[in-house]
Chains A and B, each alone.
Chain A
């Protein structure tokens, strides 16, 4: 077995809001060429972890290393090889698709920016919307624009928070294929949150079950249900979410 490079290394991550521990001593790694699914019920701490990795939320304790760079000590350098797409953060609706991609391309210092934008517009079938304001696009189209933004800098670490939540099944499958291709062609790692267990089984190499800010289970999504006497990942998810690890 070859040793994969870690693109993300999280150790002892803790974040509380008042007396509520939103993330409670979480540690895990994401390697290059790996898609890790972060699963859990609403309020489990998935988005809190993603926000901390993105540097927009400070942990109370713990370290986050992105390709070996500590985000708390050197935020700009650490975030250079990172990008993200989340269903709850559409790009500004008052700018066109091209304008948004150009601005974010400049923020990430993407070389050959216009060519890269054109490449992504083609990849996500967005050429016809190039000069339309993002605000007039459907939610599915906006999601595709967000994904194009997320791949602008060919990130070594890609964070996807429910990236296919607003897409129809056909487009969602298409997007999953594209992300899979992106990962297999390079050395990037992906941290992917989703509530769609079929999607998780299809794309993720490994999953982490999160509940009340803690990782309860970790493993191969295709093997894990059987190991815990469940028929499917969805059944395992429901069981863990409702009753905790004992029931699983």
Chain B
């Protein structure tokens, strides 16, 4: 299976997602509503903590910034899986995989669709966090770029992996996928330093790229030096996970083609 990507085929996958969102309020509304609720909730919590804390620590960039970055990661991951689920829900695999579309073009289409939908949520979150709660991204400086890049790549890797799981286990297994970010969040130290965790959880955290983002974010806010080496390690890990996730998806896809799963995907008993 070659790696030659045809833009028209990738555009078809994106256009499909655009049509679905444009024509459905129930798809459009969640793109920003949950993100907005998160920011409002955490915005008030940080205000309250600022008012009762005597430490002088500003909780807005620490907690609200963390929520925003974590939501960015979650949104990217769910963006990929949701675009994939649309084909699951519409029982569209046979139609779509019987075309010249390659799985690399398909995955590229899912990733770009996820980027487009995530941007909407991020814009709303940034607007609310900045205007309503005074979050300033200047606090993160230039480090914001590698932070976003690591989280973006991690979200893509996890999203592709999740698509592979659902392709292998069947439509009902989507319920394994939605809580994955919640399962990961305690390990990566979104709201607290990783040193707070028991040792075994710290070991796990080292293999999760978002850990380095949240540790570095707290270091930036505290005025401490950020380890460029650790961020590079996070980028390397995230890139490695994307490759592994793509390989995993490709293996699952080949298995599905060998066993006839693609043609009969809607059958629950295949899981």
Flag A69-105 by CB within 8 Å of B: 1 or 0 each.
0000011110110101010010111111001001110
Q: Which residues of A contact B8 (CB under 8 A)?
A: 106-107, 109
Nearest CB in chain B to that of A95: its residue = B19
Check: B193 CB closer than 8 A to any chain A CB: no
Q: How far is the CB of A66 from chain B (nearest CB, A)?
A: 11
Cα separation A107 to B99 with both chains bound (whole Å): 7
A103 near B15 (CB under 8 angstroms)? yes
A91 near B11 (CB under 8 angstroms)? no
A57 near B100 (CB under 8 angstroms)? no
A76 near B263 (CB under 8 angstroms)? no
Cα separation A17 to B16 with both chains bound (whole Å): 34
State which of A30-38, A48-56, A136-144 sits at the interface with chain B: A48-56
Q: Which residues of B contact A89 (CB under 8 A)?
A: 91, 94-95
Cα separation A109 to B2 with both chains bound (whole Å): 18
A57 near B19 (CB under 8 angstroms)? no
Most B-side CB within 10 Å, residue of A51, A55, A104, A107: A107
A56 near B94 (CB under 8 angstroms)? yes
Q: Which residues of A contact B102 (CB under 8 A)?
A: 75-76
Cα separation A56 to B12 with both chains bound (whole Å): 19
Known A56-B263, A76-B2, A92-B90: A107·B19 in contact at CB below 8 Å: no
Interface residue tally for chain B (C-beta within 8 Å): 34
Q: Which residues of B contact A17 (CB under 8 A)?
A: 260
Flag B98-125 by CB within 8 Å of A: 1 or 0 each.
1111100000000000000000000000
Q: Which of B95, B99, B262 is A79 in contact with, Cβ under 8 Å?
A: B99
A55 near B12 (CB under 8 angstroms)? no
Flag A171-210 by CB within 8 Å of B: 1 or 0 each.
0000000000000000000000000000000000000000
Nearest CB in chain B to that of A99: its residue = B19
Cα separation A51 to B98 with both chains bound (whole Å): 8
Q: How far is the CB of A218 from chain B (nearest CB, A)?
A: 26
Q: How far is the CB of B93 from chain A (nearest CB, A)?
A: 8
Most A-side CB within 10 Å, residue of B15, B20, B257, B260: B260
Known A76-B100, A79-B99, A108-B100: A95·B16 in contact at CB below 8 Å: yes
Q: Which of B12, B24, B91, B98 is A103 in contact with, Cβ under 8 Å?
A: B12
A-B contact pairs, 21 of them (CB 8 A): A17-B260, A47-B263, A51-B94, A54-B94, A54-B98, A58-B254, A76-B2, A76-B4, A77-B100, A79-B99, A80-B100, A86-B94, A91-B95, A92-B95, A94-B20, A94-B23, A96-B23, A103-B15, A106-B11, A106-B15, A108-B99
4 closest A-B pairs (Cβ-Cβ)? Answer: A106-B12, A92-B90, A54-B98, A107-B99
Known interface pairs A55-B257, A80-B100, A89-B91; 8 further A-B residue pairs with C-beta atoms within 8 A, sorted by A's residue number: A57-B258, A76-B100, A76-B101, A77-B100, A92-B86, A99-B19, A107-B12, A109-B9
